[in-house]
Amino acid sequence: MLCDLCHKNIATVHLTEVLNDKVTEMHICQSCAKSKTEELKEQLNISDLLGSLADSAGVTKEDSFIKCQFCGFTYADFKKKGRLGCGVCYNSFRMQLVPLLRKINGTVHHRGKSPLQRNVKVSIETKIRELREKLERAINLEEYEAAAKLRDEVKRLEEGYKK
């Protein structure tokens, strides 16, 4: 298959692009892929991405004027640069960052990373913690059958863990 851009070289890179719910497939050669990568680097900017996410996360124009009491960094500065000015900024912009973190990560609690070869004890503790969180959600949503199954699974894991 020939490259869709230059029509000279064999296509070795296959891209799928989704814009406005329209799927476009592109088959390109190595040299065109390299130039396309440079083009994408110019288009993609982390601060633009965070700025647009911040706008869609319910952050208002008034929020842009909030300043960190320690370093003087504004929320507008965060949207432009894609990073905060200091550690105190996390508290200063907490009300704006929480919805943004939820939108990006699905949660505001950092769970960290675990090594590829985790030991069994840590794995079981993690599984029990996750099941307890699901159990709490099921109870809050009044899904009692699901909650009962989750409760039984937690008990089973805890009994096996103690042995």
- Mean pLDDT in residue range 59-69: 77
Whole-number pLDDT of residue 110: 72
Answer whether 29's CB lies under 8 Å from 9's CB: yes
Closest among 58, 61, 57, 67 to 91, alpha carbons compared = 67
pLDDT in tens, 3-31: 988 999 998 888 787 777 788 888 889 88
95-112 pLDDT per residue, tens = 888 888 887 777 777 766
Domain that holds residue 135: 120-162
Same domain, 21 and 69: no
52 located within any domain: yes
- Where a domain ends, among 23, 43, 63? 43
